[in-house]
Amino acid sequence: MKAAFVKSPFKFEIREVDLPPLKPNDVLLKIKASGICGTDLHTARTEAKDWQTFGHEIVGIVEEIGSCVENVKVGQSVLVESGSFCGTCENCRNGRVDLCHDRAPNVFIRAEKENLTMGFAEKVIIDKQNAVPFEGVPFEEASLVEPMGVALDLTYTVDPRLNDDVLVVGLGPIGLMAVQIVKAMGARRIFVANHSRSKIRIDVAKSFGVEDVILVDKTPISSYKFPKGGVDRALVTAPPYVIPEVLDVMNFGGV
Protein backbone atom coordinates (compact mmCIF):
# COMPACT_ATOMS: atom_id res chain seq x y z
CA MET A 1 0.00 0.00 0.00
CA LYS A 2 1.03 3.62 -0.51
CA ALA A 3 1.65 6.13 2.27
CA ALA A 4 2.82 9.75 2.31
CA PHE A 5 5.80 10.83 4.40
CA VAL A 6 6.86 14.37 5.28
CA LYS A 7 10.12 16.01 6.30
CA SER A 8 10.72 19.71 6.99
CA PRO A 9 10.71 22.01 5.21
CA PHE A 10 7.82 20.82 3.01
CA LYS A 11 9.43 17.70 1.58
CA PHE A 12 7.14 14.81 0.72
CA GLU A 13 7.54 11.22 -0.46
CA ILE A 14 5.05 8.53 -1.45
CA ARG A 15 6.35 5.12 -0.31
CA GLU A 16 5.24 1.53 -0.56
CA VAL A 17 4.82 0.17 2.98
CA ASP A 18 3.55 -2.97 4.69
CA LEU A 19 1.33 -2.98 7.77
CA PRO A 20 1.76 -5.62 10.50
CA PRO A 21 -0.90 -8.19 11.46
CA LEU A 22 -3.72 -6.79 13.57
CA LYS A 23 -3.66 -7.01 17.37
CA PRO A 24 -6.88 -8.09 19.16
CA ASN A 25 -8.16 -4.49 19.64
CA ASP A 26 -7.09 -3.22 16.20
CA VAL A 27 -9.26 -1.97 13.35
CA LEU A 28 -7.90 -1.71 9.81
CA LEU A 29 -9.42 1.14 7.81
CA LYS A 30 -9.37 1.79 4.09
CA ILE A 31 -9.05 5.59 4.14
CA LYS A 32 -11.62 7.50 2.10
CA ALA A 33 -10.77 11.09 3.09
CA SER A 34 -8.34 12.92 5.32
CA GLY A 35 -8.42 16.62 6.21
CA ILE A 36 -5.39 18.90 6.27
CA CYS A 37 -4.97 20.39 9.76
CA GLY A 38 -2.90 23.42 10.74
CA THR A 39 -0.83 20.95 12.76
CA ASP A 40 0.07 19.15 9.53
CA LEU A 41 1.34 22.44 8.11
CA HIS A 42 3.43 23.09 11.23
CA THR A 43 4.82 19.56 10.98
CA ALA A 44 5.73 20.05 7.34
CA ARG A 45 7.21 23.49 7.93
CA THR A 46 9.50 22.90 10.92
CA GLU A 47 8.65 19.94 13.16
CA ALA A 48 9.39 16.90 11.00
CA LYS A 49 13.14 16.59 11.63
CA ASP A 50 13.13 13.16 10.02
CA TRP A 51 10.74 11.42 7.62
CA GLN A 52 7.43 10.62 9.31
CA THR A 53 3.81 9.83 8.52
CA PHE A 54 1.10 12.39 9.22
CA GLY A 55 -2.62 13.24 9.01
CA HIS A 56 -5.27 12.74 11.69
CA GLU A 57 -8.64 14.03 10.36
CA ILE A 58 -9.50 10.58 9.04
CA VAL A 59 -12.60 8.80 7.78
CA GLY A 60 -12.72 5.40 6.14
CA ILE A 61 -14.32 1.99 5.77
CA VAL A 62 -13.57 -0.93 8.09
CA GLU A 63 -11.65 -3.55 6.13
CA GLU A 64 -10.59 -5.91 8.93
CA ILE A 65 -11.01 -6.17 12.70
CA GLY A 66 -9.09 -7.79 15.54
CA SER A 67 -10.45 -10.70 17.55
CA CYS A 68 -11.70 -8.49 20.43
CA VAL A 69 -13.40 -5.76 18.36
CA GLU A 70 -17.19 -5.62 18.80
CA ASN A 71 -18.09 -1.95 18.32
CA VAL A 72 -17.61 -1.88 14.53
CA LYS A 73 -18.05 -4.35 11.69
CA VAL A 74 -16.31 -4.91 8.39
CA GLY A 75 -17.82 -2.62 5.75
CA GLN A 76 -18.93 0.12 8.17
CA SER A 77 -18.03 3.76 7.60
CA VAL A 78 -16.18 5.22 10.59
CA LEU A 79 -14.72 8.46 11.82
CA VAL A 80 -11.39 8.33 13.63
CA GLU A 81 -11.38 9.88 17.10
CA SER A 82 -7.93 11.47 17.14
CA GLY A 83 -7.47 11.23 20.92
CA SER A 84 -8.20 8.50 23.43
CA PHE A 85 -8.17 7.87 27.17
CA CYS A 86 -7.46 4.99 29.50
CA GLY A 87 -10.82 5.00 31.32
CA THR A 88 -9.32 3.87 34.64
CA CYS A 89 -7.19 6.73 36.01
CA GLU A 90 -8.55 9.18 38.61
CA ASN A 91 -9.32 11.86 36.01
CA CYS A 92 -11.18 9.42 33.76
CA ARG A 93 -13.19 8.00 36.64
CA ASN A 94 -14.16 11.55 37.61
CA GLY A 95 -15.44 12.25 34.11
CA ARG A 96 -12.46 14.36 33.01
CA VAL A 97 -11.23 12.14 30.21
CA ASP A 98 -9.78 15.27 28.59
CA LEU A 99 -7.21 15.36 31.41
CA CYS A 100 -6.11 11.73 31.06
CA HIS A 101 -2.33 11.34 30.94
CA ASP A 102 -2.38 7.58 30.38
CA ARG A 103 -4.02 7.45 26.97
CA ALA A 104 -4.86 4.17 25.32
CA PRO A 105 -2.94 3.47 22.10
CA ASN A 106 -4.47 5.88 19.59
CA VAL A 107 -3.50 6.55 15.99
CA PHE A 108 -0.76 9.03 16.99
CA ILE A 109 0.90 6.85 19.62
CA ARG A 110 0.75 3.72 17.47
CA ALA A 111 2.24 5.56 14.52
CA GLU A 112 5.02 7.09 16.62
CA LYS A 113 5.99 3.88 18.41
CA GLU A 114 5.52 1.37 15.64
CA ASN A 115 6.14 3.44 12.50
CA LEU A 116 2.61 2.87 11.25
CA THR A 117 0.78 4.99 8.70
CA MET A 118 -1.55 7.86 9.54
CA GLY A 119 -4.17 9.76 7.55
CA PHE A 120 -2.30 10.39 4.32
CA ALA A 121 -2.10 6.77 3.28
CA GLU A 122 -4.30 4.15 1.67
CA LYS A 123 -4.92 2.33 4.97
CA VAL A 124 -4.43 2.90 8.69
CA ILE A 125 -4.56 0.75 11.83
CA ILE A 126 -6.39 2.28 14.81
CA ASP A 127 -7.49 1.09 18.25
CA LYS A 128 -11.15 0.09 18.45
CA GLN A 129 -11.74 2.95 20.92
CA ASN A 130 -10.95 5.44 18.14
CA ALA A 131 -13.47 4.04 15.64
CA VAL A 132 -16.82 5.89 15.59
CA PRO A 133 -19.45 4.59 13.11
CA PHE A 134 -21.40 7.10 11.03
CA GLU A 135 -23.76 7.13 8.07
CA GLY A 136 -25.54 9.55 5.77
CA VAL A 137 -22.67 12.03 5.33
CA PRO A 138 -20.20 12.17 2.40
CA PHE A 139 -16.68 11.15 3.38
CA GLU A 140 -15.20 14.56 2.52
CA GLU A 141 -17.67 16.31 4.84
CA ALA A 142 -17.27 13.69 7.54
CA SER A 143 -13.54 14.47 7.73
CA LEU A 144 -14.56 17.87 9.17
CA VAL A 145 -16.01 16.23 12.29
CA GLU A 146 -12.58 16.14 13.98
CA PRO A 147 -12.03 19.93 13.75
CA MET A 148 -15.72 20.43 14.53
CA GLY A 149 -14.98 18.75 17.85
CA VAL A 150 -12.49 21.55 18.55
CA ALA A 151 -15.16 24.15 17.77
CA LEU A 152 -17.58 22.36 20.12
CA ASP A 153 -14.95 22.24 22.85
CA LEU A 154 -14.39 25.99 22.45
CA THR A 155 -18.08 26.80 22.76
CA TYR A 156 -18.66 24.42 25.68
CA THR A 157 -15.72 26.00 27.53
CA VAL A 158 -16.76 29.60 26.82
CA ASP A 159 -20.45 28.75 27.42
CA PRO A 160 -22.17 31.62 25.56
CA ARG A 161 -25.53 32.57 27.04
CA LEU A 162 -28.71 33.97 25.50
CA ASN A 163 -28.17 37.57 24.30
CA ASP A 164 -24.40 37.54 24.81
CA ASP A 165 -22.23 39.53 22.43
CA VAL A 166 -19.56 37.17 21.14
CA LEU A 167 -16.26 37.66 19.32
CA VAL A 168 -14.74 34.88 17.20
CA VAL A 169 -11.12 35.51 16.23
CA GLY A 170 -9.88 33.59 13.20
CA LEU A 171 -12.01 32.36 10.30
CA GLY A 172 -10.47 29.02 9.52
CA PRO A 173 -12.81 26.01 9.43
CA ILE A 174 -12.88 25.82 13.25
CA GLY A 175 -13.72 29.51 13.62
CA LEU A 176 -16.44 29.32 10.97
CA MET A 177 -18.01 26.28 12.64
CA ALA A 178 -17.80 28.04 16.02
CA VAL A 179 -19.76 30.97 14.56
CA GLN A 180 -22.63 28.66 13.64
CA ILE A 181 -22.60 26.89 17.01
CA VAL A 182 -22.52 30.15 18.99
CA LYS A 183 -25.43 31.47 16.94
CA ALA A 184 -27.45 28.32 17.63
CA MET A 185 -26.73 28.75 21.36
CA GLY A 186 -28.47 32.13 21.39
CA ALA A 187 -25.81 34.80 20.98
CA ARG A 188 -27.28 38.24 20.28
CA ARG A 189 -24.46 39.67 18.19
CA ILE A 190 -21.50 37.77 16.75
CA PHE A 191 -18.43 39.71 15.68
CA VAL A 192 -15.60 38.05 13.80
CA ALA A 193 -11.99 39.16 13.37
CA ASN A 194 -9.74 38.11 10.52
CA HIS A 195 -7.16 39.36 8.05
CA SER A 196 -8.69 40.98 4.96
CA ARG A 197 -6.83 38.68 2.55
CA SER A 198 -9.19 35.79 3.38
CA LYS A 199 -12.07 37.14 1.29
CA ILE A 200 -13.81 33.79 0.74
CA ARG A 201 -13.84 33.00 4.46
CA ILE A 202 -15.09 36.50 5.25
CA ASP A 203 -17.92 36.08 2.74
CA VAL A 204 -18.84 32.73 4.32
CA ALA A 205 -18.94 34.33 7.78
CA LYS A 206 -21.23 37.07 6.44
CA SER A 207 -23.53 34.43 4.97
CA PHE A 208 -23.88 33.01 8.51
CA GLY A 209 -25.33 36.32 9.68
CA VAL A 210 -22.49 37.82 11.74
CA GLU A 211 -22.97 41.35 13.03
CA ASP A 212 -19.70 42.69 11.63
CA VAL A 213 -16.27 41.63 10.40
CA ILE A 214 -13.20 43.28 11.94
CA LEU A 215 -10.38 43.36 9.42
CA VAL A 216 -7.45 43.19 11.81
CA ASP A 217 -4.87 44.47 9.32
CA LYS A 218 -6.92 47.68 9.04
CA THR A 219 -8.65 47.98 12.43
CA PRO A 220 -7.03 46.50 15.55
CA ILE A 221 -9.45 44.52 17.72
CA SER A 222 -8.64 46.78 20.68
CA SER A 223 -9.78 49.91 18.82
CA TYR A 224 -13.07 48.53 17.45
CA LYS A 225 -16.19 50.24 18.82
CA PHE A 226 -18.38 47.43 20.16
CA PRO A 227 -22.00 48.39 20.96
CA LYS A 228 -21.64 47.31 24.61
CA GLY A 229 -18.09 48.61 24.88
CA GLY A 230 -16.74 45.10 24.53
CA VAL A 231 -17.90 41.48 24.28
CA ASP A 232 -19.19 38.94 26.80
CA ARG A 233 -17.55 35.89 25.28
CA ALA A 234 -14.54 35.47 23.00
CA LEU A 235 -13.37 32.39 21.10
CA VAL A 236 -9.81 32.58 19.78
CA THR A 237 -8.87 30.27 16.91
CA ALA A 238 -5.80 32.33 16.00
CA PRO A 239 -2.20 32.29 17.32
CA PRO A 240 -1.86 32.92 21.08
CA TYR A 241 -0.19 36.30 20.61
CA VAL A 242 -3.62 37.86 19.89
CA ILE A 243 -5.03 36.89 23.29
CA PRO A 244 -3.81 39.99 25.20
CA GLU A 245 -5.56 42.25 22.69
CA VAL A 246 -8.76 40.21 23.04
CA LEU A 247 -8.60 40.55 26.83
CA ASP A 248 -8.70 44.33 26.35
CA VAL A 249 -12.20 44.16 24.80
CA MET A 250 -13.82 41.78 27.29
CA ASN A 251 -16.75 43.13 29.27
CA PHE A 252 -16.74 42.78 33.04
CA GLY A 253 -17.31 39.11 33.85
CA GLY A 254 -16.52 38.07 30.31
CA VAL A 255 -15.01 34.72 29.39
Q: Which domains does the chain have, with CATH numbers?
A: 2-143 (3.90.180.10), 147-247 (3.40.50.720)
Selected catalytic residue, list 42, 46, 88, 157: 42
User: Is 155 a catalytic site residue?
Assistant: no
pLDDT value of position 98 = 79
- Angle at which helix 199-207 crosses helix 173-184, to 10 degrees, equals 10
pLDDT at 44 over 80: yes
User: Is 195 a catalytic site residue?
Assistant: no
Strand partners, 126: 27
Q: What is the pLDDT of residues 29-42, one digit of tens each?
A: 999 999 999 889 99
Average of per-residue pLDDT values in the chain: 93
106 vs 144, residue with greater confidence: 144
The length of the chain in residues reads 255
pLDDT at 218 over 90: yes
Q: What is the pLDDT of residues 76-108, one digit of tens each?
A: 999 998 888 888 889 999 998 878 887 766 666
pLDDT value of position 50 = 93
Of 175, 209, 168, 174, the residue nearest 191 (C-alpha): 168
